[in-house]
Amino acid sequence: MIDLADFAAVIFDMDGLVLDTESTYIKAWQQTAEGMGFELGDDFGQAISGLQHADVERLMLAHCGADFDLAAFNQLSASHWRANVEKDGIAVKAGFAQLLNIIKQQALPFALATNSPKINAHECLALAGLKDLFPLIVTCDDVQHGKPAPDIYLHTAACLQADIKQCLVIEDSPTGVAAAVNAGAFCVYVPSTFSIDAQAAKQSNWVVNDLVELALAVSRA
């Protein structure tokens, strides 16, 4: 059980946690890779969950070979992604609205902290209908080192004027969990996009299946 009264602020990850964006990226990457004669399985999607773009590119080269045309891949996958989201939109993860309502009712400060670049984060939020929802959005552009380094969460806590040790961080990826734990935050791991990662589960303070379960838990506290 988690009592929100024990925390000074709540910090959300974005991709795969608030928004179902990771599935849209992976679909576009798989479409593009297939057209270029390669296959990216779901296990690859799980391996890159929460990583910055440069780290994704590094793993792409390791997977597809050093001579893989990253420039062409990036251009084509971006086109596939835009076509897909313009057609289908970006879904907000189930339980987020209920959880945020509870946080607002308790007048807790909240923020978004994402490994995505600022332009991508704002575009995805707009496509999902959450353009003006978060009073504070911190991205990889705002810090020197992205997740799993603690910088993003330390910077977000400082902007909220909150002690990071009194912040509740909600994450869905092993990369994000590591960042939160490295920062010293209380971390809830919500592996709702991919199967649970044993190391992330061990590192985190609490594990729930999805935001629906988390909203129910905090409402009962």
Coil, strand, or helix at residue 199?
helix
Question: Is residue 13 annotated as a catalytic residue, yes or no?
Answer: yes
- The count of C-alpha atoms lying within 13 angstroms of the C-alpha of 167, restricted to the half-sphere facing its C-beta, is 31
Whole-angstrom Cα distance, residue 178 to residue 149? 8
Question: Is residue 88 annotated as a catalytic residue, yes or no?
Answer: no
Question: Which of 6, 15, 151, 163 is labelled catalytic?
Answer: 15
- The radius of gyration of the chain from alpha carbons, rounded to an integer in Å, stands at 17
Q: Is 11 exposed, middle or buried (0-12, 13-18, 19+ CB in 10 A)?
A: buried
Question: Which of 13, 151, 172, 197 is labelled catalytic?
Answer: 13
Q: Are strands 137-138 and 110-113 parallel, antiparallel or unpaired?
A: parallel
Q: Which residues are catalytic?
A: 13, 15
